Amino acid sequence: MSRYNDWLIRNREKLVIATSGSLIVAAWLLRPLGNTFHFWAMTLAAIIAGYTVAKEAIGRLSTRQFSISLLVTIAAIGAIVIGEAWEAAAVTWLYIFGGFLEGLTLARTRSALRGLVDLMPRTAKIKRGEELVTVSAYEVKAGHVVVVLPGESIPVDGKVVAGRASVDTSSLTGEPLPAEVAVDDTVLSGTICQGGYLEVVAERVGTDTTFSQLVYLVAEAQEQKPKVQRTLDAFAQWYTPAVIMAAALVYLGSRNMHLALTFLVIGCPGALVVAAPVAVVAGLGNSAKHGILIKGGERLERIAKADVVAFDKTGTLTLGQPQVASVTGFELEEERVLSLAAAAELRSEHHLATAILSAAEKRQIEPAPADDWTIEAGLGVVAHGPDGEILVGNRRLLLSRGTDLTPEQAALMVEHEEAGETVAIIALNGQAIGLIGITDPIKPDAFGLVKALKRTGIKTTVMLTGDNPRAAQLVADQLGIDEVRAGLLPEQKVEVIRELQKTGHVVAMVGDGINDAPALAIADVSIAMGSSGTRVAMEASDIALIGDRIGQVPGAIGISRRILGVVRQNVVFAVATVLLLLAGVVLQVIHLGSGMAIHEASVLLVTLNGMRLMK
Residue 498, number of CB atoms within 10 A of its CB: 12
Question: Running DSSP on this structure, what letter comes out for residue 153?
Answer: B
**Per-residue pLDDT at 94:** 74
Higher-scoring residue by pLDDT: 596, 130: 130
Residue 521 lies in a domain: yes
Q: Are the C-beta atoms of 354 and 322 separated by less than 8 Å?
A: yes
**Per-residue pLDDT at 226:** 54
Q: Kindly provide the residue ranges of all beta strands, DSSP E only, lying in 208-361, ordered along the sequence.
A: 292-294, 308-311, 323-329
Q: What share of the chain in percent tops pLDDT 70?
A: 84
Residue 208, number of CB atoms within 10 A of its CB: 15
Q: Measuring CA to CA, which residue among 565, 21, 597 is closest to residue 270?
A: 597
Rounded distance, CA 468 to CA 465, Å? 8
Residue 377 lies in a domain: yes
Q: Measuring CA to CA, which residue among 266, 103, 273, 274 is closest to residue 596?
A: 266
pLDDT mean over 606-615: 81
Q: Are residues 233 and 369 in the same domain?
A: no
Rounded distance, CA 128 to CA 531, Å? 29
Distances, alpha carbon 199 to alpha carbons 128, 170, 185, 196, 473, in Å? 12, 21, 11, 11, 42
> If you write DSSP's letter for every residue of 453-465 in order, what string do you get?
HHHTT--EEEEE-
**Per-residue pLDDT at 220:** 58
Q: Are residues 421 and 337 in the same domain?
A: yes
Collapsed DSSP state (helix, strand, coil) of residue 127: strand
pLDDT tens digits, 425-449: 899 888 898 999 888 888 888 899 9
Residue 484 has pLDDT above 60, yes or no: yes
- 3-state percent helix, strand, coil for the chain, nearest multiple of 5: 55, 20, 25
**Per-residue pLDDT at 463:** 93
Dihedral over alpha carbons 128, 133, 139, 145 (to 10 degrees) = 40
Q: Are residues 598 and 529 in the same domain?
A: no
pLDDT tens digits, 375-414: 887 788 889 888 888 899 888 888 888 888 888 999 999 8
Q: Are residues 45 and 76 in the same domain?
A: yes
Characterize 243-270 residue by residue with b for buried, 16 or more Cβ atoms within 10 angstroms of its Cβ, and e for exposed.
bbeebeebbeeeeebbbbbbbbbbbbbb
Higher-scoring residue by pLDDT: 314, 308: 308
Q: Are residues 435 and 447 in the same domain?
A: no
The alpha carbon of 113 is separated from its chain's Cα centroid by a whole number of angstroms, namely 12
Q: Name the strand (E) or helix (H) holding 564.
A: helix 553-586
Residue where a domain terminates, one of 439, 468, 486? 439
Active site residue 185: no
Among 161-165, 200-204, 232-236, 506-510, the minimum mean pLDDT is found in 232-236
Residues 6+ apart with CB under 8 A from 238: 66
Collapsed DSSP state (helix, strand, coil) of residue 579: helix
Q: Are residues 331 and 435 in the same domain?
A: yes
Q: Are the C-beta atoms of 288 and 170 separated by less than 8 Å?
A: no
Collapsed DSSP state (helix, strand, coil) of residue 220: helix
**Per-residue pLDDT at 422:** 82
Residue 12, number of CB atoms within 10 A of its CB: 11
**Per-residue pLDDT at 4:** 58
Rounded distance, CA 463 to CA 461, Å? 7
Question: Running DSSP on this structure, what letter comes out for residue 523?
Answer: S
Q: Are residues 104 and 231 in the same domain?
A: yes
Q: Are residues 6 and 97 in the same domain?
A: yes
Q: Are residues 575 and 536 in the same domain?
A: no
Q: Name the strand (E) or helix (H) holding 358.
A: helix 351-362
Structural domain that includes position 412:
323-439
Distances, alpha carbon 204 to alpha carbons 125, 143, 261, in Å? 16, 9, 60
Residue 131 lies in a domain: no
Residue where a domain terminates, one of 178, 205, 232? 205
Rounded distance, CA 613 to CA 590, Å? 33
Higher-scoring residue by pLDDT: 309, 83: 309
3-state SS of 304-343 is: HHCCEEEECCCCCCECCCCEEEEEEECCCCHHHHHHHHHH
**Per-residue pLDDT at 483:** 93
**Per-residue pLDDT at 237:** 67
615 burial type by CB count under 10 A (0-12 exposed, 13-18 middle, 19+ buried): exposed
Residue 461 has pLDDT above 90, yes or no: yes
Q: Are residues 16 and 81 in the same domain?
A: yes
**Per-residue pLDDT at 379:** 82
Residue 559 lies in a domain: no
Residue 593 has pLDDT above 70, yes or no: no
Q: Are the C-beta atoms of 369 and 343 separated by less than 8 Å?
A: yes
How much is the mean pLDDT over the chain? 80
Collapsed DSSP state (helix, strand, coil) of residue 204: strand
**Per-residue pLDDT at 533:** 46
Which one-letter amino acid corresponds to residue 264?
A: L
**Per-residue pLDDT at 319:** 81
Rounded distance, CA 381 to CA 396, Å? 12
Residue 380 lies in a domain: yes
pLDDT tens digits, 357-384: 888 888 888 888 888 888 887 788 889 8
Q: Are the C-beta atoms of 369 and 385 separated by less than 8 Å?
A: yes
pLDDT tens digits, 520-545: 878 888 888 765 444 554 566 778 78
Residues 6+ apart with CB under 8 A from 122: 136, 137
Collapsed DSSP state (helix, strand, coil) of residue 63: coil
Collapsed DSSP state (helix, strand, coil) of residue 441: coil
In terms of average pLDDT, the best of 98-102, 204-208, 449-453, 591-595 is 449-453
Residues 6+ apart with CB under 8 A from 135: 123, 124, 126
Distances, alpha carbon 219 to alpha carbons 98, 155, 278, 294, 296, in Å? 25, 20, 14, 11, 9
Residue 94 lies in a domain: yes
Residue 412, number of CB atoms within 10 A of its CB: 17
**Per-residue pLDDT at 534:** 43
Residue 111 has pLDDT above 60, yes or no: no
pLDDT tens digits, 501-513: 999 999 999 887 5
Q: Are the C-beta atoms of 241 and 533 separated by less than 8 Å?
A: no
Residue 573 has pLDDT above 60, yes or no: yes
pLDDT tens digits, 253-278: 888 877 887 777 777 666 776 777 77
Residue 115 has pLDDT above 70, yes or no: no
Among 154-168, 215-229, 454-468, 571-585, the minimum mean pLDDT is found in 215-229
Residue 308 lies in a domain: yes
**Per-residue pLDDT at 177:** 59
Q: Measuring CA to CA, which residue among 385, 384, 415, 382 is closest to residue 400?
A: 382
Residue where a domain terminates, one of 410, 439, 468? 439
Residue 417 has pLDDT above 80, yes or no: yes
pLDDT tens digits, 313-333: 877 888 877 888 889 898 788
Residue 333 lies in a domain: yes
pLDDT mean over 452-468: 89
**Per-residue pLDDT at 170:** 63
Q: Name the strand (E) or helix (H) holding 136.
A: strand 131-136
Rounded distance, CA 138 to CA 502, Å? 48
Distances, alpha carbon 432 to alpha carbons 53, 200, 375, 469, 477, in Å? 81, 43, 19, 21, 31
**Per-residue pLDDT at 225:** 52
Residue 296 has pLDDT above 90, yes or no: no
CA atoms within 13 A on the CB side of 258: 13
The number of folded domains in the chain is 4
Q: In which band, very low, low, confident or very high, does the pLDDT at 482 lie, cut at 50, 70 and 90?
A: very high
Question: Which CATH number goes with the domain that contains 422?
Answer: 3.40.1110.10
3-state SS of 380-422 is: EEEEEECCEEEEEECHHHHHHCCCCCCHHHHHHHHHHHHCCCE
Q: Are residues 266 and 299 in the same domain?
A: no
Annotated catalytic residue within 157, 312, 467, 548:
312
Q: Are residues 307 and 362 in the same domain?
A: no
